[in-house]
Structure 1
């Protein structure tokens, strides 16, 4: 059994930022529980290229940018100079257009967004983060510490006693994967189940090349397609001369489940050839990440009823006497200002930690 003051469920951005804030406040009696064998949650990079969360908008996300500066993380602006390629219809050649919108400037971190995760993890004592520990049950009685049961891949169980729990899992995952005793209020439980998990129904593809050949054509690397499989494509090159393109697959998750990863990649390469020419046919490396197939991100509800926008923000703590302010949701979907975004993870974690500090 592990006894602690605060248990944080999830070592994605919100969970790690909560731990970072606790360390900054000299509150060291906590533990972070992560079901995966890696840190980061929906932040995931391969070779420094993001297959999960990708952008930060400095003008819109000042608190997140402040953290980037605090951790001294290098970054570069998203490349958008040049024409956009638009593919309207199968069988008709794509056209090149001047960018049809004035976008808010965004940045990407060098080494991918995972560098933010690693930067936070370096500020947290390693022994306080337990990976491959999936929380399955949370139990509480009046005036008794909360009991959390975790299970590792081999089925071994650990019991954690804590006074407070910060839940850095998305609301829907929390409601569907953790059994609460006593049961949470039905209205709240249904609210959490009905909150779509951002990224859960989506998939991303990235192709890495020796050079950014599209720039020689006066193209930005941006593309929009009504044909697919990718509906939206962007330049993913880094400032250290690694060239790449990435795109969001527009095929519904229910269809992707019937297609092999190799076939999906082949269709993505063929689309890049249509849009950017023959040099796109032979990437040095390519990766695909289907978040709908990630059991620690998505449930059946996420790919059956995908989110189309960042929706109504659910309550972050039950209003009944036993659970109120003893369990607090801090995942991005609980943010009142940036629900579903990276900045939302920072905002919701900050709100949750401040609430705990008031109670200690």
Structure 2
């Protein structure tokens, strides 16, 4: 039986598969398409230039996980050509106005060979026998000791059993195409339905030219078209690093239904708009076009039907919960705790699932198990106890968020109207601190040689450390949940908490953390005193 079945061969699924491969875990990756990459798609123009019809850029300053992955894989990249000049076309029958200002792409970088080179590099590290293309998941069943996945291929139905499954697929696609047995809880199902798939209903064009004529005229290639008849709304330079191989890229302004209505004439309309913006030298060109709204493995019915809304970069935390007692995990960029929807979010989701699997797997020669938490077998004594405690604290994230939701619902039920988020977050975190004190009291530590300086045990900072991520995670999850909660829509202060409100909540949590730290220190000092009274060789 497989240890882990990964469904979805986009960046999240591939990054997770690479990590599992490096860790020696048995896995298989299943992708519905007959190619890997998901929304990452690069094509090659006749000139040999790689053109991105999906994600194009990454930002090293704000996307550390993706940048680190690109660096690990040894991929070359170059800055997006952008001198700050931009053409703005506001009326269909007039020339565009050139505006000079700061670069609009803000440090964006592009991969040499297109973003698909990232997909290829990840795929190269995976054994061929572990990657299965053309496998569409239709049903997943919780069998209590494992999960059963049912796939449809071009010729047959295939059943796969695995100890756990990761669905690295945009949540809305799961609601469209996959049956769950038993059905998922209402809160999770609602969160999945409400998680808009980033760029799913968009279309993109890339047009290769014989040379970058716009650069010859001192133009950057940046342009915005905002009049009612706009065909391509945003345009950018898509040349290679030195500009020798020329192209422009753009995002369509037409909504999906208009793109279908004008499908036959769309190539001519796009070419004409480029000429209007940059001159007759751009008449023609080699067009490559991708309408993601027509891709059933990218765009759900809900994505196609609803207008583009405000993008929320922290996904509903219900999407990050382990389901079916840890046998089922939801992935994809739309589940990320940071940069949701973006490539950085896809790596963020992969790292989160990797940590969750490592905490509970206990497989391999390098780990052992204490209860349901895996601990590195190389650790011993206090290091092992502290590692177990850190894993225990990390595992409280879901419980703390559940507690937050329960407290919030109770407040709403009793018609409380003030400080809803503040009181619920603080109460949930205080409950975790109280449970942690009991865990510390029960843990075995060898207190011999543990220094005590100015009344503080040297172990106290170690038991404090794991809470920093959990405290921030709970607050981030609460804010993200509030933004998606219909019940809070009548409470604007809670629905979209202000920075001042969030800072107030942080101060409350910090005060509770300080109280916990003092209490934990007292427990550790008591253990040290007890150890001093015990015969040699006995730990407390």
| Pairwise TM-score range, normalised by the shorter structure | over 0.9
* Aligned twin of 2:207: 207
**Could you say what secondary structure the match of 2:15 adopts?**
helix
* Aligned twin of 1:246: 249
CA shift, 1:23, in A, is 1.5
Tell whether the 8 Å contact from 1:234 to 1:245 is kept in structure 2 after alignment.
yes
Deviation digits for residues 161-190 of structure 1 (CA, Å, limit 9, x no counterpart): 011111110011112211000111122112
Tell whether the 8 Å contact from 1:254 to 1:304 is kept in structure 2 after alignment.
no
CA shift, 1:25, in A, is 1.8
Alignment partners' CA distance in 2, 1:230 and 1:278: 17
* Aligned twin of 2:274: 272
Alignment partners' CA distance in 2, 1:111 and 1:309: 32
* Aligned twin of 2:31: 34
* Aligned twin of 2:222: 222
RMSD: 1.5
Alignment partners' CA distance in 1, 2:103 and 2:51: 25
Alignment partners' CA distance in 2, 1:11 and 1:102: 31
Alignment partners' CA distance in 2, 1:99 and 1:267: 29
Say yes or no: does 1:106 pair with 2:104.
Answer: no
Tell whether the 8 Å contact from 1:132 to 1:152 is kept in structure 2 after alignment.
yes
Alignment partners' CA distance in 1, 2:328 and 2:322: 11
Alignment partners' CA distance in 2, 1:292 and 1:89: 27
**Could you say what secondary structure the match of 2:158 adopts?**
strand
Alignment partners' CA distance in 2, 1:348 and 1:91: 46
Structure 1 or 2: larger helix share? 2
Alignment partners' CA distance in 2, 1:64 and 1:130: 25
Deviation digits for residues 303-332 of structure 1 (CA, Å, limit 9, x no counterpart): 211433333513235576xx1421111200
Closer, same or farther: CA 157–31 of 1 in aligned 2, 3 Å: same
**Could you say what secondary structure the match of 1:245 adopts?**
strand
Matches within 5 A, 1:276-355: 276-283=278-285, 285-311=286-312, 313-314=315-316, 315-316=318-319, 323-355=324-356
Alignment partners' CA distance in 2, 1:319 and 1:71: 29
Aligned mate of 2:12, from 14, 17, 33: 14
* Aligned twin of 2:415: none
Tell whether the 8 Å contact from 1:10 to 1:34 is kept in structure 2 after alignment.
yes
Normalising by the residue count of structure 2, what TM-score does the alignment of the two structures yield? Answer: 0.63
* Aligned twin of 2:530: none
Alignment partners' CA distance in 1, 2:130 and 2:153: 16
CA shift, 1:199, in A, is 1.4
Say yes or no: does 1:115 pair with 2:113.
Answer: no
The count of corresponding residues between Structure 1 and Structure 2 is 351
CA shift, 1:103, in A, is 4.3
* Aligned twin of 2:74: 72
Aligned mate of 1:43, from 15, 40, 43: 40
**Could you say what secondary structure the match of 2:6 adopts?**
strand
Alignment partners' CA distance in 2, 1:141 and 1:93: 65
Structure 1 or 2: larger strand share? 1
* Aligned twin of 2:489: none
Deviation digits for residues 258-284 of structure 1 (CA, Å, limit 9, x no counterpart): 221x4212111100000000111121x
Tell whether the 8 Å contact from 1:12 to 1:42 is kept in structure 2 after alignment.
yes
Alignment partners' CA distance in 2, 1:174 and 1:66: 30
Aligned mate of 1:56, from 55, 58, 62: 58
Tell whether the 8 Å contact from 2:82 to 2:105 is kept in structure 1 after alignment.
no
Normalising by the residue count of structure 1, what TM-score does the alignment of the two structures yield? Answer: 0.94
Tell whether the 8 Å contact from 1:198 to 1:307 is kept in structure 2 after alignment.
no
Tell whether the 8 Å contact from 2:83 to 2:103 is kept in structure 1 after alignment.
no
Tell whether the 8 Å contact from 1:317 to 1:327 is kept in structure 2 after alignment.
no
Alignment partners' CA distance in 1, 2:129 and 2:354: 20
Alignment partners' CA distance in 2, 1:319 and 1:205: 38
* Aligned twin of 2:151: 150
Alignment partners' CA distance in 1, 2:75 and 2:105: 23
Alignment partners' CA distance in 2, 1:338 and 1:253: 25
Task: Compare relative contact order (CA 8 Å, sep 6+) and give the higher one, 1 or 2.
Answer: 1
Tell whether the 8 Å contact from 2:322 to 2:330 is kept in structure 1 after alignment.
no
* Aligned twin of 1:232: 234
Alignment partners' CA distance in 2, 1:37 and 1:118: 14
Task: Tell me which moved more, 324-333 or 175-184.
Answer: 324-333
* Aligned twin of 1:25: 23
Closer, same or farther: CA 197–306 of 1 in aligned 2, 3 Å: farther
Alignment partners' CA distance in 1, 2:104 and 2:8: 36
Task: Tell me which moved more, 191-200 or 234-243.
Answer: 234-243
Structure 2 unaligned spans of 5+ = 45-49, 362-540
